[in-house]
Amino acid sequence: MQTSTRGNLLLKRSLAAVWHPCTQMKHHESLPLVPIARGAGCWLYDFEGRRYLDAVSSWWVNLFGHCNPRINAALVDQLDRLEHVLLAGFTHEPAVALAERLARATGGALGHCFYASDGASAVEIALKMSFHYWRNVGRAGKTRFASLAGSYHGETLGALAVTDVALFKDTYALLLMSSSQVTSPDWRLAEKGESARDYAVRAAQALERHLERHHAETAALIVEPLVQGATGMAMYDPEYLRRARALCDRYEVHLVADEIMTGFGRTGTFFAFDQAGIAPDFLCLSKGITGGYLPLSAVLARDAVYQAFYAEDTARGFLHSHSYTGNSLACRAALATLDIFEDERVIEANREKSRRVSAASQPIARHPRVRDFRNTGMIWAFEVETQDPGFARDFFTRALGQELLLRPIGNTVYFMPPYVIGEEEIELLAGRTARLLDAA
Ligand SMILES: Cc1ncc(COP(=O)(O)O)c(C=O)c1O
């Protein structure tokens, strides 16, 4: 069979059998699915040998390239030992070793890693744990959550309740618990002449006013540290996190860091909250945790939280589970990912890489149609001036024609490439994106 025929056939079968995520399926009448045959490094290949630079790390998960030899080898080794065992009443080496290493990565501030599968399930766990903690310590009135305006924490009902993206949330409003949204520290909202830091201070003052009034019924504030991803890569100054930490301490409210997107080096430090010199009470991790290989998420909690659940009474315990909690293969992929971080001094190496992408992107930053070009660590974003409501889909399609996988959020174009992106690929990404802007 010809590869192109294979690709076409797969596309048809997919449309007939698969309900694709976050998609109005009818749009695929005019926007073809992209059948992928294989991946290598930063590249995805279709059945005709056409290639696409995965500049969005396949929904922000991939760190060290597709089919990374080290992660592949670790998984093959693990396959011959143990693929999965339930984690209630049983344990295994990869789950323990990963929990130990993640706790070390927080400098010991957080420990007792609770595993789940996807980002949203980690958020559900953090919210339930926070609520249950307050109940266990006799503060059952703390039942509400606050999040930032424009926040995104996932699509399950609890995570969606603290999300603030209308397109995803409004349809399900009747199903959701109510939550409060406080001013986002997104520096694009700063007044003329106001620095990102000054604006972060002003946003923290709004948080203070909220907590002053509502702390008695607030269990936790959940934030995406430094970069609010799905709302359009809104970036903010670490000062906000420092002040939010102090306010949460003062008002006895948990601080939940949702580092599902920002963790594992995306913002230039291992965790984004490192840049503020603080530690949260709960840390939600997923996406890059397995290098982009397998679904795995984790919630790390402060020891005081763990201790509040530790008792003879079963109901004081955290009786939450998912069948694949702590899956051995996923944990092993995560351990291989951490090995790469250590052996290849990735955080340091990314500093230079980040400078290079920023330098190569200067024609984009100066482009007359581009607004608010911004960068945090290994994430770049900018708005394109356009009146076209179909901009995102049109840009996506034209980018594919330039061998680029870019998925704008509205009129926000962003780069979040795997860390293995090389010099030539950086030039190709920046150069062709600038050309797409010229041609628009
Ligand atoms: C900050 C943040 N939290 C939670 C999630 C949800 O993760 P998942 O899609 O794995 O459920 C995402 C996904 O994009 C995210 O960016």
Q: Which of 287, 322, 376, 379 to mutate to test the pocket of ligand 1 (most atoms within 8 A of CB)?
A: 287
pLDDT digits (tens, 9 = 90+) for 328-387: 999 999 999 999 999 999 999 999 999 999 999 999 999 999 999 999 999 999 999 999
Phi-psi region at 280: left, alpha or beta (left = phi > 0; alpha = psi -120 to 50) = beta
Q: Looking at residue 440, what is its pLDDT?
A: 66
pLDDT of residue 390: 94
Cα 120 to averaged position of ligand 1 atoms, centre (Å): 6
Residue 1 has a pLDDT of 39
Tokens of 110: 């957080």
Burial 99-112 (b: 16+ CB within 10 A, else e): bebbbebbeebbbb
Q: pLDDT category, 439, cuts 50, 70, 90?
A: confident
- The pLDDT tens digits for 68-113 are 999 999 999 999 999 999 999 999 999 999 999 999 999 999 999 9
Q: Which of 227, 286, 294 to mutate to test the pocket of ligand 1 (most atoms within 8 A of CB)?
A: 286
Sheet with 370-376, strands from edge to edge, namely 370-376, 379-384, 412-415
C-alpha 313 to ligand 1 mean position (Å) = 33
The phi and psi torsions of 180 (rounded to 5 degrees) equal -110, 140
pTM: 0.98
End-to-end CA distance of the chain: 37
**In sequence order, what are the residues at sequence separation of 6 or more whose Cβ sits closer than 8 angstroms to the Cβ of residue 390?**
none
Pocket of ligand 1 (CB under 6 A): 118-120, 123, 152-154, 224, 229-230, 258, 260-261, 286
- CA quadruple 194, 199, 202, 203: dihedral, nearest 10: 160
CA dihedral 220, 221, 226, 232 (to 10 degrees): 120
CA 109, CA 103: separation in Å to the nearest integer?
A: 7
- Strands 254-258 and 282-285 come out as parallel
Atom of ligand 1 nearest to the CA of 287: 10
If phi over 0 gives left and psi between -120 and 50 gives alpha, with beta otherwise, what is residue 186?
Answer: beta
Where would I find the beta strands (DSSP E) of 151-304? 180-182, 218-223, 227-228, 234-235, 254-258, 282-285, 297-301
305 contacts 256 by C-beta, under 8 angstroms:
no
The 8-class DSSP code of residue 235 comes to E
Q: Quick check: 39 and 420 in contact, CB under 8 A?
A: no
Q: For 23-28, what is the mean pLDDT?
A: 95
- Tell me the pLDDT of the chain averaged across its residues: 97
Predicted confidence (pLDDT) per residue in 201-221, tens digit: 999 999 999 999 999 999 999
According to the model, what pLDDT value does residue 384 have? 98
Which residue CA neighbors atom 13 of ligand 1 most closely?
A: 154
| Tens digit of each residue's pLDDT (9 = 90 or more) over 265-276 | 999 999 999 999
Residue 363 Cα to ligand 1 midpoint, Å, equals 31
Q: Whose CA is nearest to atom 7 of ligand 1?
A: 119
Give 165 Cα–ligand 1 centroid separation in angstroms.
13
